[in-house]
């Protein structure tokens, strides 16, 4: 049966109107019902298997764990959050703040996370009393559709309107554009090209940007432990995550030790000739990443490039040479390929990272392994990113993790640096409107001393 976008929107709008004024307790029960269904082992197994089978990318076991982590983590972040009715009151200022839903939200989902993205954003839109219509990626429309069907099953169980969650069954670019144009709001997880399409729909939208995480390592940390953390993060789901490290920048005094530790963790360092062979395989035309290597294993990529690597190779390393389009290894790779840089001046490596981000990944994230808090602070102040992750496996922490305080999500805003409306981890907070109720308070008009006191003492009134 052909999808009728206008009809889907009307059904979603009707469902939204049914829950628009539900109390918090009823909303929270609905969210728990859907979350429980999505975290079930049998549900996760079906979704993870279909996602890998359809896309041919990623790792089944990693997807299985990720669906559970993202679902439970999103629920954990939402616990106790007020999203209905009066949520704040400032009696001194005479202000009461009321949370309001938006309406029907279009969710454009990537093939890298076609199921967990739905879990994160679905729970967030339900928590805020919104309806969601999913536009799946053409390669993974079955797994996205199945995820939504499980959500609808949970809604039906508790008597909530099933059409709060819907999914286009036979996707296309035309249907995605039509969906975004019809809906009240859009959220899209994808690269720069998608951002332009989303904003072209002329609707308010949450978008994301490319990831190009550089992990800075200094001399103060346990080098073997740090190498292990980077390996764990780098190989997770074959680097499908935009939060996967794309490069490591190592202080020169510990550089040789770090390289040896990365090798002991399964890294293979390419020679100059092997690097060029790999480059030609990954960017056959010199600038477009070969989709056949995206989120594939290191051994698969090595075989495709004709590289002779050890059987136990988990990721491939290349030395960094230049920054920018003349050397694509300085940008996002969406694969277990890691670019290695050396540094001896912290100020310089921050500027180098900023240059890499200007080329690819500005606004997204950066990683640092150090025990010097002043370095963490300096990086956070100077880098044009939304997140700085310290001393952790980056992809385990950046979009939420049990050892990280960052909010759970699969959708990472990259701010105005990447043409996004927000630089935060997108969750329920981005799916609310607010109404401020103001009542009269005792009038107070500040005098010159209150407003200009310090200035006037220093410069006078002339």
Q: Which residue has the tokens 């996707």?
A: 171
Query: Do residues 96 and 436 touch, judged by C-beta distance below 8 A?
Result: yes
Query: Do residues 54 and 293 touch, judged by C-beta distance below 8 A?
Result: no
Q: Which residue in 111, 167, 183, 242 is the catalytic one?
A: 242
Pairing assessment for the beta strands 104-108 and 185-188 based on DSSP bridges? parallel
Query: Do residues 334 and 292 touch, judged by C-beta distance below 8 A?
Result: no
Beta bridge partners of 367: 215, 389
Query: Do residues 379 and 366 touch, judged by C-beta distance below 8 A?
Result: yes
Distances (CA, A) of 370 to 106, 149, 243, 389: 41, 45, 19, 11
Cα 306-307-311 angle, rounded to 5 deg: 120
Tokens of 396: 């385990």
Q: Is 390 a catalytic residue?
A: no
Give which of 321, 282, 326, 283 is closest to 302, Cα–Cα. 282
Q: Is 165 helix (H, G, I), strand (E, B) or coil?
A: strand
Give which of 73, 77, 84 is closest to 38, Cα–Cα. 73
Q: Active-site positions?
A: 242
């Amino acid at each position: 049966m052909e999808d009728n976008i206008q009809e889907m929107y009307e059904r979603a709008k009707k469902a939204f109107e049914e829950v628009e004024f539900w109390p918090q307790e009823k909303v929270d029960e609905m969210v728990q019902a859907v979350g429980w269904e999505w975290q079930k082992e049998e549900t996760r197994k079906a979704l993870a298997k279909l996602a890998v089978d359809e896309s041919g990318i990623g790792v089944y076991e990693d997807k299985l764990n990720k669906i559970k982590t993202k679902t439970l983590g999103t629920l954990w972040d939402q616990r106790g959050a007020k999203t209905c009715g009066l949520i704040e009151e400032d009696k001194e200022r005479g202000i009461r703040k009321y949370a309001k839903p938006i309406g029907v939200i279009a969710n454009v989902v990537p093939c890298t996370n076609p199921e967990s993205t739905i879990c994160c954003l679905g729970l967030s839109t339900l928590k805020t009393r919104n309806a969601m219509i999913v536009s799946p990626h053409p390669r993974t429309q079955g797994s996205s559709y199945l995820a939504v069907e499980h959500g609808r099953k949970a809604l039906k169980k508790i008597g909530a309107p099933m059409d709060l969650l819907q999914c286009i069954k036979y996707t296309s670019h035309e249907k995605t554009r039509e969906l975004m144009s019809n809906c009240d709001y859009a959220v899209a997880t994808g690269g720069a090209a998608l951002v332009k399409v989303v904003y072209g729909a002329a609707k308010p939208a949450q978008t994301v940007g490319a990831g190009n995480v550089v992990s800075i390592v200094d001399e103060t940390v346990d080098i073997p432990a740090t190498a292990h953390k980077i390996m764990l993060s780098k190989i997770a789901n074959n680097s499908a995550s935009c939060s996967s490290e794309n490069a490591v920048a190592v202080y020169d005094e510990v550089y040789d030790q770090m390289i040896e530790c990365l090798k002991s963790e399964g890294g293979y360092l390419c020679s100059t000739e092997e690097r060029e062979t790999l480059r030609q395989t990954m960017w056959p035309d010199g600038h477009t990443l070969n989709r056949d290597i995206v989120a594939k294993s290191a051994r698969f990529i090595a075989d495709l490039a004709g590289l002779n690597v050890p059987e136990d190779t988990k990721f491939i390393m290349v030395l960094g040479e230049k920054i920018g389009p003349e050397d694509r290894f300085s940008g996002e790779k969406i694969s277990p390929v890691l670019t290695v840089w050396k540094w001896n001046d912290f100020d310089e490596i921050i500027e180098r990272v900023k240059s890499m981000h200007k080329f690819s990944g500005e606004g997204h994230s950066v990683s640092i392994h150090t025990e010097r808090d002043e370095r963490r602070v300096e990086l956070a102040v100077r880098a044009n990113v939304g997140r700085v992750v310290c001393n952790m496996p980056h992809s385990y922490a950046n979009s939420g993790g049990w050892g990280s305080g960052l909010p759970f999500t699969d959708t990472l805003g990259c701010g105005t640096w990447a043409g996004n409306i927000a630089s935060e981890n997108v969750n329920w907070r981005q799916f609310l409107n607010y109404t401020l109720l103001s009542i009269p308070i005792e009038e107070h008009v500040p005098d010159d001393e209150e407003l200009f006191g310090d200035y006037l003492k220093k410069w006078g009134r002339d």
